[in-house]
Amino acid sequence: GAGVSQSPSNKVTEKGKDVELRCDPISGHTALYWYRQRLGQGLEFLIYFQGNSAPDKSGLPSDRFSAERTGESVSTLTIQRTQQEDSAVYLCASSLLRGGNYNEQFFGPGTRLTVL
């Protein structure tokens, strides 16, 4: 009965390095979302996976950002050649799409990324 989990909880990296952030959604949830939250700001949508459909990548800020999802399980967000402006908390959420519009998103605790 675990919720959404993310790893690592904290990541410090040097500018120019690549990082991978992992999200384990709630079992059975077909939809998975990545968001970014800069200090003191609201969440920004990055990417959305729904089943076998093509992901909605409209929120990815640059081609340095990419994400994959294996079936309806784990997702990995990769940031290549990190920049200082990538420093933020990266949040993952999952939901079980049902009839109508009631599909509450369950969020993980986030990964705090610091780029030096």
Partner 1 sequence: DAKTTQPNSMESNEEEPVHLPCNHSTISGTDYIHWYRQLPSQGPEYVIHGLTSNVNNRMASLAIAEDRKSSTLILHRATLRDAAVYYCILRSNFGNEKLTFGTGTRLTIIP
| Site for partner 1, rule CB under 8 A | 4, 31, 33, 35, 41-45, 48, 50, 56, 59, 91, 93, 95, 97, 100-110
Closer residue to partner 1 (CB): 13 or 105 = 105
Residue 16 CB, shortest distance to partner 1, in Å, is 28
* Shortest spacing between CB 6 and partner 1, in angstroms: 9
3-state secondary structure of 102: coil
CB contact at 8 A, 91 and 38: no
Q: Rank residues 14 and 101 by Cβ distance to partner 1 and give the closer one.
A: 101
Q: What kind and span of H or E run contains 113? A: strand 111-115
Considering the complex, state which of residue 80 and residue 107 has its C-beta at the smaller distance from partner 1.
Answer: 107
According to DSSP, residue 64 is labeled T
Q: How far is the CB of 91 from partner 1 (least distance, A)?
A: 5
Whether the Cβ atoms of residue 114 and residue 39 lie closer than 8 Å to each other: no
The tokens 């959604």 sit on which residue? 25
